[in-house]
Amino acid sequence: MSIFIDCDTRLLVQGITGRDGSFHARQMIEYGTQVVGGVTPGKGGQKFDGKVPIFNTVEQAVRETGVNSTVIYVPPMFAADAMMEAADAGIPFIVCITEGVPVLDMTKVYPFVREKGARLLGPNCPGLISPGMSKVGIIPGGICKPGPIGLVSRSGTLTYEVVFQMTRADMGQTTCVGIGGDPINGTNFIDCLAAFEADPQTKAVVMIGEIGGTDEQEAAVFVKKNMTKPVVGFIAGQTAPPGRRMGHAGAIISGSAGTAAEKMEAFEANGIGVAKRPIDVVELLRNR
């Protein structure tokens, strides 16, 4: 089993004819994801790579293909509209890869998506992969393998690094989820931890956080209160200076809040194994 996506995922790709959208649509199809439709306004009626039907609007795509998930690769200024379009069309699972979405846009997208009852992953996230079943987003399939570990992360390439080291150590994954590095996103650590706790195949969970905000601290409390499965964690940004945005819009230490030390303490205090280096995740998992 897995969380959020599996063999029954029927995926729509919004922005399927764009540079990133077309590249990753092919990657996902190659990995085995059922890509059942794409959206590019003005290209409705055409087929992507001669196979995948393209629609002008998400509403048409939903009506004609029965998608149950969508992934968004549109430029940042159009991403909010794309997320809202997907939610309004009734798609229950929306993944937004786009980086650079204005935060004020997200203050509107967030309540909208919730009102429509959809789950949003991202924006500014690498998506997720349930190895051997389905991949939605941009996580390289080759570094993953099926197995009993769930992984949730705010980062992209750092996730690949950790997954890569886990796979090398023969620790496969149920699902690897990148929740994204923006200050306002649709799915947080707790959402994923709860899903992993409920997934019978997942035996242990890896959590990769970074500086900024208090999500990791709240997740740590959640772990202590609600989780029976072992959790190990890593926090990036121990050497980050306060007040500077470390690439991700959300990775910023405000005043004395959101430091790596604070988060690592919260992990320790709530029974989460703390990795000092990414590679230590493997060792910690072995000992749980």
Partner 1 sequence: MNIHEYQAKEIFRAAGIPIPPGDVATTPAEAESIARKFGGTVVVKAQVHAGGRGKAGGVKLAKTPDEAREVAERILALTIKGLPVKKVLVTPAADIATEAYTGVIVDRASKRAVFMVSPAGGIDIEEVAAKTPEKILRHSVDPRYGLQTYEAMQLGFFLYSDVKQARAAAKIMQQLYSAFISSGGSLAEINPLVTTPAGVVVALDAKMVIDDNELDRRPEIAALRDESSEDPSEVDARNANLTFIKLDGNVGCVVNGAGLAMATMDLVKYYGGDPANFLDIGGSSNPEKVVAALRIITSDPSVKAILFNIFGGITRTDDVANGIVTATKLNPLKVPIVIRLTGTNEETALKILQENSFSAMTDMDEAVKKAVALATGGKAA
Window 42-61: residues binding partner 1 (CB under 8 A): 42-44, 56-59
- Per-residue binder mask for partner 1 (CB under 8 A), 214-233, x = binder: x-------------------
Is 138 an interacting residue with respect to partner 1 (CB under 8 A)?
yes
Is 120 an interacting residue with respect to partner 1 (CB under 8 A)?
no
Task: Please answer whether residues 46 and 56 qualify as being in contact, where contact means their C-beta atoms are separated by less than 8 angstroms.
Answer: no
- Whole-number Cα distances in Å, 33 to 5, 8, 169, 248: 10, 9, 26, 28
The question of whether 24 is a catalytic residue gets the answer no
What is d(CA 220, CA 21) in angstroms, rounded to the nearest whole number?
35
Is 20 an interacting residue with respect to partner 1 (CB under 8 A)?
yes
Is 164 an interacting residue with respect to partner 1 (CB under 8 A)?
yes
Among positions 65, 145, 158, 172, the unique one binding partner 1 when judged by CB under 8 A: 158
Task: Please answer whether residues 143 and 164 qualify as being in contact, where contact means their C-beta atoms are separated by less than 8 angstroms.
Answer: yes
Residues touching partner 1, count (CB under 8 A): 73
Selecting among 248, 258, 270, 272, the annotated active-site residue is 248
Among positions 2, 9, 159, 270, the unique one binding partner 1 when judged by CB under 8 A: 159
Two structure tokens written together for 4: 């959020």
Is 208 an interacting residue with respect to partner 1 (CB under 8 A)?
yes
Strand order in the sheet with 146-153: 134-137, 127-130, 173-178, 146-153, 204-210, 231-236, 273-274
Which residue from 61, 131, 123 is spatially nearest to 89, judged by alpha carbons? 61
Among positions 4, 189, 196, 234, the unique one binding partner 1 when judged by CB under 8 A: 234
Which region, left, alpha or beta, applies to residue 172 given φ > 0 means left and ψ of -120 to 50 means alpha? beta
CB nearer to partner 1: give 5 or 249: 249
What is d(CA 192, CA 127) in angstroms, rounded to the nearest whole number?
13
Is 139 an interacting residue with respect to partner 1 (CB under 8 A)?
yes
Is 241 an interacting residue with respect to partner 1 (CB under 8 A)?
yes
Among positions 8, 47, 63, 102, the unique one binding partner 1 when judged by CB under 8 A: 102
Is 190 an interacting residue with respect to partner 1 (CB under 8 A)?
no
Task: Please answer whether residues 135 and 160 qualify as being in contact, where contact means their C-beta atoms are separated by less than 8 angstroms.
Answer: no
Is 155 an interacting residue with respect to partner 1 (CB under 8 A)?
yes
CB nearer to partner 1: give 157 or 226: 157
Residues 6+ apart with CB under 8 A from 218: 189, 190
Catalytic residues: 248
